[in-house]
């Protein structure tokens, strides 16, 4: 019997999230695999990968907050706002100091409407924005409300190049922060590096490398860790009814549902009617 669960992968830079998922799926001989939030090809760090029926958790996990370490270089930019695209602008006279950065950081904290990058996985009429951009079609992107909880300047790396720590809501484009910060500084900018360090309650320090997964040195996390609802254990007769789509009598509200200590998913009883909101069996 194949197990359901979540593997925390430390994705290396240079491969897509889907490629990383397929590698893990192959290593584990899993029927299904997916990820809980894309990292760009040049992005590295925490990529939670769902195995088998845990892939049904994607919609639930989509809105989780995230944290990143990122490096912005000001005075340069590219069409993609990162190093995937060719550098198209350069300001050789720019000489920013850490104090210049510190003065503007508070302007980027809080809820705000953020315009996605032209080259992004944002879908427009079923097609990804970067696909339209590569075809020379001007994408009709719309701003989306996001929230930046904190931006911390960690250090100046070299001339006009700075490392930041960012805590933000799901759906935030870090490349867009680089672009918008550069505009506030009356220049242009490019993201040189991005490392995701947190997804919801998951931390990069707990992640395994692809080599670890190949060697079996990983933890398959039970999906119930994602839910804070109280636990409800089904009796055998109740489980049979739920399995066949029948109703059972349990207290009103949402519960993590178990049978014989196995997590079955998220269930809800409302007005005396029970249904499985997320079913993992």
What positions carry a catalytic annotation? Answer: 40
34 three-class SS: strand
Looking at the chain, list the stretches that DSSP marks H as alpha helix, in order from N- to C-terminal side.
17-28, 58-61, 98-104, 129-134, 174-184, 210-214, 236-243
Helix (H, G, I), strand (E, B) or coil at 254: strand
- d(Cα 223, Cα 255) in Å, to the nearest integer? 14
Asked if 232 contacts 269 with a C-beta cutoff of 8 angstroms, the reply is no
- Choose among 244, 236, 243, 242: nearest CA to 269: 242
Beta bridge partners of 148: 110, 168
- Which positions ≥6 away from 267 have C-beta within 8 Å? 232, 242, 250, 254, 255, 256, 257, 274, 275, 276, 277
Question: How does DSSP assign 142-204, residue by residue?
Answer: --EEEEEEEEEEEEEEETTEEEEEEEE-TT--HHHHHHHHHHHTTS-EEEEEEEEEEETTEEG
Number of CB atoms found within 10 A of residue 143's CB: 11
Report the C-alpha gap between 6 and 8 in whole angstroms: 7
């Amino acid at each position: 019997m194949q197990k359901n669960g979540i593997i925390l992968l430390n994705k290396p830079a240079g491969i897509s999230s889907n490629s990383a998922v397929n590698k893990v799926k192959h290593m584990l001989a899993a029927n299904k695999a997916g990820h809980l939030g894309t990292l760009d090809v040049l992005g590295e760090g925490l990529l939670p990968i769902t195995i088998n029926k845990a892939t049904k958790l994607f919609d639930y996990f989509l809105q989780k907050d995230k944290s990143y370490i990122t490096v912005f270089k000001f005075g340069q930019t590219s069409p993609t706002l990162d190093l995937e695209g060719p550098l198209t602008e350069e300001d050789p006279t720019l000489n920013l100091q850490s104090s210049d950065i510190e003065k503007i950081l508070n302007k980027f904290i809080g809820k705000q409407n953020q315009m996605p990058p032209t080259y992004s996985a944002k879908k427009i009429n079923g097609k990804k924005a970067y696909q339209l951009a590569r075809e020379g079609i001007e994408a009709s992107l719309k701003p989306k409300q996001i929230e930046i909880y904190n931006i911390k300047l960690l250090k100046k790396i070299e001339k006009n190049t700075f490392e930041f720590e960012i805590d933000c809501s799901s759906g935030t484009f870090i490349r867009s922060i680089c672009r918008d910060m550069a505009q506030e500084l009356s220049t242009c900018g490019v993201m040189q590096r991005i490392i995701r360090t947190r997804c919801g309650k998951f931390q990069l320090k707990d992640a395994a490398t692809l080599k670890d997964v190949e060697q079996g040195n990983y933890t398959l996390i039970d999906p119930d860790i994602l839910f804070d609802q109280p636990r409800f254990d089904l009796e055998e007769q109740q489980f049979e009814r739920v399995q066949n789509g029948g109703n059972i009598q349990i207290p009103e509200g949402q519960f993590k549902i178990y049978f014989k200590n196995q997590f079955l998913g998220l269930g809800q009883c409302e007005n005396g009617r029970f249904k499985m909101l997320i079913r993992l069996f």
